[in-house]
């Protein structure tokens, strides 16, 4: 009799249940009232007394084996029906689609890494800013047009708060909470009340740098920007054109030599070979005073650039709106090779 139990056990263990029909057939064959296991229970009375204990234990184990296998098969089949994923861990997995680093993040990370190599740390701040950090501490006069609703998204019912228009506000916070020397870069998202088109957007990204210490000069600023141009563009040839920003004096626009080798080069640089990449200048003494830093002791420089502009030029992207549309066909082009 024990041999019959073992034979049935071997048979149960060899069966594979891959669908509900097979599971039901298994139940009828082994677990129903007329199934093979129940028939063995009926034979229990014919087993010699000295074998009843061993036979009963073997029979109970056989029943538990069959019930467990049937239950597990049903659970796996239900899991597959609910999720589409086979519960059998031995089956080949479904290949996961590789994601891609967004071009904005790729450019931002590269710039951050370049400046980290020369001692700059990273500062972050809130995207909703008060008037002091966004305008007043940066030497914006009361009548400056940037304060007008035409340029700034103010918080409804509270004109003293707005979506930050530049990451310079983070630099103010860095100067308020640290004592010189201060060497930091501030990447982040900014907001301007501008019409959305192929070349402009109301939401974009900036990365700004700040260095405050004793005896900092314009020559130090130029040397750092030449280093950045060499590391990022592979070309240290830059030019600086006089400009105006409320928070720096003197101020300059920085161009890097892009070249005129292709038709695209002519289009990007408007036939000059020079590409405008950022604004910069020496931190205005009024900005230092507003942040509690003595301009008689310390001086510093600041610079800032738009990440979208650089990304569009590097990757030849014709429309700034592509960065925010989340089109997988566009983003998939920036996958890293494996």
Characterize the bridge pairing of strands 128-130 and 203-213: unpaired
**What kind of architecture, by CATH, is found in domain 103-325?**
2-Layer Sandwich (3.30)
Residues of the chain with pLDDT > 90: what percent? 49
Count Cβ atoms within 10 A of the Cβ of residue 103 and give its class: 0-12 exposed, 13-18 middle, 19 or more buried. Answer: buried
Q: Which of 27-41, 69-83, 194-208, 320-334 has the lowest mean pLDDT?
A: 69-83
Check if the beta carbon of residue 20 is closer than 8 Å to that of residue 77: yes
Check if the beta carbon of residue 174 is closer than 8 Å to that of residue 121: no
pTM over 0.85: no
What ranges do the domains of the chain cover?
2-83, 103-325
> 273 vs 82, which has greater pLDDT?
273
Report the mean per-residue pLDDT for the chain: 88
Q: Which two tokens stand for residue 208?
A: 């700004």
Residues of the chain with pLDDT > 70: what percent? 94
The tens digit of pLDDT for each residue in 255-290 reads 999 888 888 888 888 899 999 999 999 999 999 999
Does the structure show a pLDDT above 80 at 47? Answer: no
Those residues with Cβ within 8 angstroms of residue 326's Cβ, 6 or more apart along the chain or in another chain: none
């Amino acid at each position: 009799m024990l041999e019959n139990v073992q034979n049935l056990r071997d048979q149960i263990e060899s069966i594979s249940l891959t669908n509900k029909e097979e599971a039901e057939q298994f139940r009828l064959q082994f677990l129903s009232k007329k199934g093979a296991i129940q028939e063995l229970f009926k034979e229990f009375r014919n087993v010699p007394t000295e074998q009843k204990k061993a036979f009963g234990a073997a029979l109970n184990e056989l029943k538990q084996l069959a019930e467990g296998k049937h239950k597990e098969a049903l659970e796996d089949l239900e899991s597959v029906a609910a999720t589409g994923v086979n519960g059998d861990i031995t089956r080949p997995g479904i290949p996961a689609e590789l994601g891609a680093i967004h071009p904005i993040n790729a450019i931002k990370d590269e710039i951050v890494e370049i400046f980290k190599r020369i001692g700059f740390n990273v500062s972050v701040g809130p995207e909703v800013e008060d008037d002091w950090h966004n305008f007043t501490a940066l030497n914006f006069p009361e009548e400056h047009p940037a304060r007008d609703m035409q340029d700034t998204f103010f918080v409804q019912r509270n004109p003293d708060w707005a979506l930050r228009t530049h990451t310079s506000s983070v630099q103010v916070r860095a100067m308020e909470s640290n004592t010189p020397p201060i060497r930091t870069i501030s990447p982040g998202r900014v907001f301007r009340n501008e019409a959305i088109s192929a070349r402009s957007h109301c939401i974009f990204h900036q990365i700004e740098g700040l260095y405050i210490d004793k005896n900092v000069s314009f020559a130090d600023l130029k040397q750092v920007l030449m280093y950045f141009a060499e590391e990022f563009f592979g070309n240290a040839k830059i030019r600086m054109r006089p400009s105006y920003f409320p928070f720096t004096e003197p101020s300059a626009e920085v161009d890097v030599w892009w070249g005129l080798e292709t038709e695209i080069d002519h289009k990007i640089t408007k036939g000059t070979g020079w590409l405008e990449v950022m604004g910069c200048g020496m931190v205005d003494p009024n900005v230092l005073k507003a942040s509690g830093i003595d301009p008689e002791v310390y001086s510093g420089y600041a610079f800032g650039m738009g990440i979208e502009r650089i990304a569009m030029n590097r990757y030849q992207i014709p429309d700034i709106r592509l960065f925010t549309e989340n089109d997988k066909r566009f983003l998939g082009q920036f996958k890293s090779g494996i």
